[in-house]
Every structure is written in C-alpha cells, then in structure tokens.
Amino acid sequence: MALITIQDFDFTRAASQPALHLGQWYCRQLERGHILFFPHIPFELSEEDRAFLLTQQQAGTGYHKNIAYRPHQDRITGLVKRSREEEERLRALMRTYSRHVTRFMAVLLPPYASRWRLDYASFRPQEERGRPLRLRSRNDLLHVDAFPTRPTGGGRILRVFTNIHPTRPRLWVTSETCDVLIERLAGTPGLPLPSPWRRSVWSCLRHGLAAAGRRAGLPLVRRSPYDAFMLRLHHYLKEHEEYQTSCPKQVWAFPPRSTWIVFTDMVTHAVLSGQFALEQTFIVPHEVLVLPEKSPLRVLERLVGASLTAME
C-alpha cells in the first residue's frame, strides 16, 4: 500500500481530457488500496471556521462517537451541551464544509462524481488516544469499515479526512487490503462465507415481517449477504487479538492541514492518536468502479459462486 502525494492538482483544467484520464488513474489507485494524500487542504476552509472548530470540545464521551452532519437533511447529530447559536453555527459550517469538499472530490474523481451517494460528514473533536469506547466502536483497532445501520448493498465506502489540528499529526496504522483478507480468512472458523439469498418460504416470511416492521417505524435494517459479511469481518478483525498484534503494519503521520482519501472498506486502518479532524463519506456504486474485479464484493462472489446483493 502506498501514499500517493498530490502536490499540484490543477483544478482549473477540471473538464479537460487529460484531467479525466488522471481522474481515472486516481480511482484505480484508490481501488487498489492506495491513499491519495494532499499536504495542504485542497478545498476552501476559512481560517475563521477552522479556529471556531478548534474551540469545540465534546462533552460526555460515552454515547456519541463523533459529531455527524447529514447533508440531505441538513441536520447535525451527536452534539452535547451546546447553545442554540453554537449549534446553528456548527451546522452552517458543516454544510459549507460538505459542499466544498464534495465539489473538490467531483473535480478530482470524475468517474465517480455523477453517481456517488453523499453520505454523512463528521467532525471529530476528541483526542483519539485512549478513547473509552466499546470494543466494536474502537477505532484504534485495525478494521475495515462497515456501517451497521446504513448497509451499502455493494456500494463502496470512500472517505476524505482532513487534519485541522494546529500542530499535531493524526497517526494512522494500515495493514492488508480487504481482497487479500477475504481470500485468506473467508470460510475459516469464525468467519463463514456469506450465503446468497435463496427463495424459500422462510426467507419470504422473514423479509415480509421485516418490511412490515419498517413500515411500522421499527428501525430494522435489511442487509444483503454482502453487507452482513462485511459487518462480520469488521467485528472479527477488532475481536481478533492475534490478528491485531501479528499483521503487517504501516504507520502514517498525517500532518496538520493535510487531507487524505481512502476506500476504508478496502484498507484495514486504525487511528492511534490525533484530535480535530473533518471527514466526508461517499458511497460509490459498484457500477462505476474502474477495477470492479478487485472489489470486496466481486472477490467474495467469486468464492461463493453467486450474487451477494441481488434481492430475491
């Protein structure tokens, strides 16, 4: 896995042919499990906004992992003990951040831009070292990302991070890519292969009940076999002490004001220390991947010999 540093991306040539080719090349590197790295913040973020974010400490570490912003609802969650004015300011700031970073990503990665789904953004004001979180929520243990409440149905989790701390780096560890892990671990004890959806009386009944539950407002999540497997893999890695200690590791120190982009469902990663980061997530549909055969979904489907996202 490598860090690909981009120093001098020319945003003014965005719509040109060379920029499109370059965009395809960037997508290929991301899908291989490399990290795109910008030494300076490559989108607009005012000094005033950055200074305001640095004044924000999150009280009560227990329930909310981070402060999240939902762009489609223009809603902020995870705030503890804020005045109305402060909450409004943070919401406006996150709205602007989300728009700017999305515009930047669209110029950088044209093959994805027309089709991705804009997911949540987050602000991470807490020191990551020694955070008292439940094991499965801990981010200092190596893992691939899988969202328990927002299954992607085969879509890929692409995230862009910015370290806005004035002086300290954000320290990450990365390890193997998901395709390699799946080939080695899927089907071993503790990590069974997913089974495709089968049309049976029982499964029809189960899905019927789940749909009725959702209509009645119950927060039931319908996961494809792929999503269920990715969530199991996330838990398996965090719970596997032997894997955590013995896997090959690379350490990255992302300096203040740097930005990095990574498929976090591909690259096993953990954050060891650092405070104050901004992050925006995009769900990239499988159809627009430039190396679809390398995706976790395709690798798994090859092993199983059937579709793992097709609904019955």
Kindly state whether residue 176 participates in binding Fe ion, applying the rule CB under 5 A.
Answer: no
Count of beta carbons in the 10 Å neighbourhood of residue 301: 19
Answer whether 161's CB lies under 8 Å from 170's CB. Answer: yes
- Give min distance, CB of 274 to ligand SIN, in A: 7
CB closer to ligand SIN, 107 vs 142: 142
Other beta carbons within 10 angstroms of residue 95's beta carbon come to 16
- Of the candidates 156, 170, 64, 92, the one whose C-alpha atom is nearest the C-alpha of residue 119 is 156
Question: Does 269 contact ligand SIN by CB under 6 A?
Answer: yes
Are 53 and 276 within 8 A, CB to CB?
yes
The two three-digit tokens of residue 100, written as one number: 């700017």
The interface with ligand SIN within residues 140-169 (CB under 6 A) comprises 145, 161
Helical pair 296-304 and 225-239, crossing angle rounded to 10 deg: 100
Decide: 210 and 220 in contact? Cβ < 8 Å. yes
CB of 297 to ligand SIN, least distance (A): 20
36 binds, among ligand SIN, Fe ion, none (CB under 5 to 8 A by kind): none
Shortest Å distance, C-beta 71 to ligand SIN: 18
How far apart CA 142 and CA 262 sit, in angstroms, is 15
Residue nearer to ligand SIN on the CB measure, 222 or 232: 232
Query: CA-to-CA distance for 193 and 216, rounded, in angstroms?
Result: 32
Instruction: For residue 53, state whether it binds ligand SIN (rule: CB under 6 A).
Output: no
In the bound state, the residue with its beta carbon closest to Fe ion is: 145
Region near Fe ion per CB under 5 A, out of 115-123, 141-149, 161-169, 304-312: 141-149
Among 65, 124, 165, 238, binds ligand SIN (CB under 6 A): 124
Residues forming the site for ligand SIN (CB under 6 A): 124, 139, 145, 161, 170, 264, 269, 271, 277
